[in-house]
Amino acid sequence: MTAKKQKRRIAFVGSECYPFIKTGGLGDVMYALPRALVSEGCEVRVILPLYACIPRKYKEQLKYKGSFMMDLTMEGRTFFVGIMEMSLDGVTYDFVENREFFDWGNPYTGLWEDIPKYCFFSKAALAIMNYLEWVPEIIHCHDWQAALLPIYLRRKFQNTPVGKARSVLTIHNLRFQGICSIQHLKYWSGLPDDLFDYPILKYNEDEADMFKGGLAFADKITTVSETYAEEIQTPAFGENLDGHLRYHCPKLCGIVNGIDVEQWNPAADQLLAETYTVEDVLDKKKANKLALQEKLGLDPDPDKMILGLISRLTDQKGLDLVDAVFPQLVDGNTQVVVLGTGDPRYENAFRYFESENKGSVCAYISYNEALAHQIYAGADALLVPSLFEPCGLTQLIAMRYGTVPIVRETGGLKDTVLPYQGDWTEGNGFTFEQYSANRLLDAINNAKTVYFTDRWHWDEIVQRNMQKDVSWEASAKKYMALYDEIAAWEN
């Protein structure tokens, strides 16, 4: 009789995870990828800080699993580590409890305060695995907040049970690296002097870089799209770590993100005016468009084209390009809906455009989850003109809802949106390469031309996008293959 194959054990360590705490795409990945891996037959634990801002309804489900004291800092100060646990959709979530570090409200408070917090968190995550006697084959760390873990794994825990694990470190956005003074990181991390040299943690003569050190020690480095993996090895996108990443490129690869197709499902989305599938999308999107126009005070007209923009309002998202061409977007046949918050410069600009174009423009300067769903369903096209975009989720959600993406060819946008070229049957959006307001306007005008003069081909794009697999399933299989490269699984 063949022995039953043991479930593969994967630990995820990161600073946020939907639905407990989410500030961006990292939270979505930390939620969706573990669930997809469980479907692939893995045993997955997600380790998170127990922030004060986690909703009460989840805190009430937590069960106490134990506690201990752990040393940290150059002086060897000891700190309390509590373990609170719950399960959701087959994934076990372990929350690291320490009020001194995590009881401040928001997850990110300021870099000076956050450096000690995430030194503690990275070390505590490993100590918890030993305490629970749960040793994974792979520890998958995410962004700079968990970047010290691969170093602790090899330098502080190498002779403990968890020391047998291999580490993967994923770059979600290289712009944020955990850079601080060498003395500050040296004190709080308690790591030895030899690690604070240029090949590992040293960033410049005065500063250390947590992400840089983690990238040096991780067994594998991933990022969230194939194109972004190439881009970050160049000075334009490498955020001063391009040389470091070129050196470590043999262990670097890109795997594009997916989306949670249960959370984002127009056939079952109760936030919509009318649910729909690929079979009835052409009729039902009109109903959702009219509902969106009514809700936002736009002129009710199903024949007008709605351009949607759902984004953090920052320079990274290419909003300077949108700002430059906005007066040319509203032409009597086009309406624009903006949802997001961020830089006051852009918030005020979009408010101004709304005041000047009542009935044609709505600037909803806030974040509203229900409205986001309704824009995906009611808009005809979605603008994503980013300066850089490691992966991007909005274009994937838009496709799922039959909304055609208009994107710049960078990072994951380039990997997931193929330009429509006449009757080419694979095109699923409109793209531009050069970071230029004129090129953005050209792409929007190309989309408008097809929408208003060649509706048959536009409708083909809509239906093709809804049939595209944007789930985590394919990506999870790629991660499984990556894990296989670095770990010897037990049969």
Angle between helices 437-453 and 455-467 (to 10 degrees): 110
Residues 435 and 371 in one domain: yes
CA distance 80 to 73: 14
CA distance 490 to 8: 8
pLDDT at 489: 46
| Spatial CA neighbour of 457 closest among 425, 432, 483 | 425
Residues 481 and 463 in one domain: no
pLDDT at 97: 98
Residue 263 lies in a domain: no
Residue 179 to residues 168, 208, 487, Cα–Cα distance (Å): 21, 6, 31
Residue 322 lies in a domain: yes
- Contact partners, residue 151, CB within 8 Å, separation at least 6: 191, 195, 200, 201, 213, 214, 217
Residues 246 and 291 in one domain: no
* Domain CATH number, residue 217: 3.40.50.2000
pLDDT at 3: 47
Residues 226 and 310 in one domain: no
Residue 360 lies in a domain: yes
SS3 state of residue 342: strand
Residue 161 to residues 44, 64, 120, 148, 158, Cα–Cα distance (Å): 18, 23, 20, 18, 8
pLDDT at 383: 98
Residues 73 and 211 in one domain: yes
Residues 158 and 233 in one domain: yes
Going residue by residue through the chain (491 aa), what tens digit of pLDDT does each one get? 444 557 899 999 999 999 999 988 899 999 999 999 999 999 999 999 999 999 999 999 999 999 999 999 999 999 999 999 999 999 999 999 999 999 987 899 899 999 999 999 999 999 999 999 999 999 999 999 999 999 999 999 999 999 999 999 999 999 999 999 999 999 999 999 999 999 999 999 999 999 999 999 999 999 999 999 999 999 999 999 999 999 999 999 999 999 989 889 999 999 999 999 999 999 999 999 999 999 999 999 999 999 999 999 999 999 999 999 999 999 999 999 999 999 999 999 999 999 999 999 999 999 898 999 999 999 999 999 999 999 999 999 999 999 999 999 999 999 999 999 886 667 999 999 999 999 999 999 999 999 999 999 999 999 999 999 999 999 999 999 999 999 854 43
Residue 271 lies in a domain: no
pLDDT at 1: 42
Residue 264 lies in a domain: no
Please say whether the beta carbons of 471 and 31 come within 8 A: no
pLDDT at 5: 57
DSSP 280-311: THHHHHHHHHHHHHHHHT----TTSEEEEEES
CA distance 77 to 307: 55
Residue 268 lies in a domain: no
User: Which contiguous run of DSSP H or E holds residue 68?
Assistant: strand 63-72
Residues 298 and 429 in one domain: yes
CA distance 172 to 178: 13
Please say whether the beta carbons of 56 and 46 come within 8 A: no
404-408, strands of its sheet edge to edge: 361-364, 334-339, 305-310, 381-384, 404-408, 430-432
pTM: 0.92
Residue 1 lies in a domain: no
Residues 158 and 293 in one domain: no
Residues 382 and 431 in one domain: yes
Q: How many structural domains compose the chain?
A: 2
Residues 198 and 285 in one domain: no
pLDDT at 436: 98
Q: Which domain holds residue 159?
A: 8-258+473-486
Residue 266 lies in a domain: no
Residues 313 and 244 in one domain: no
Residues 219 and 292 in one domain: no
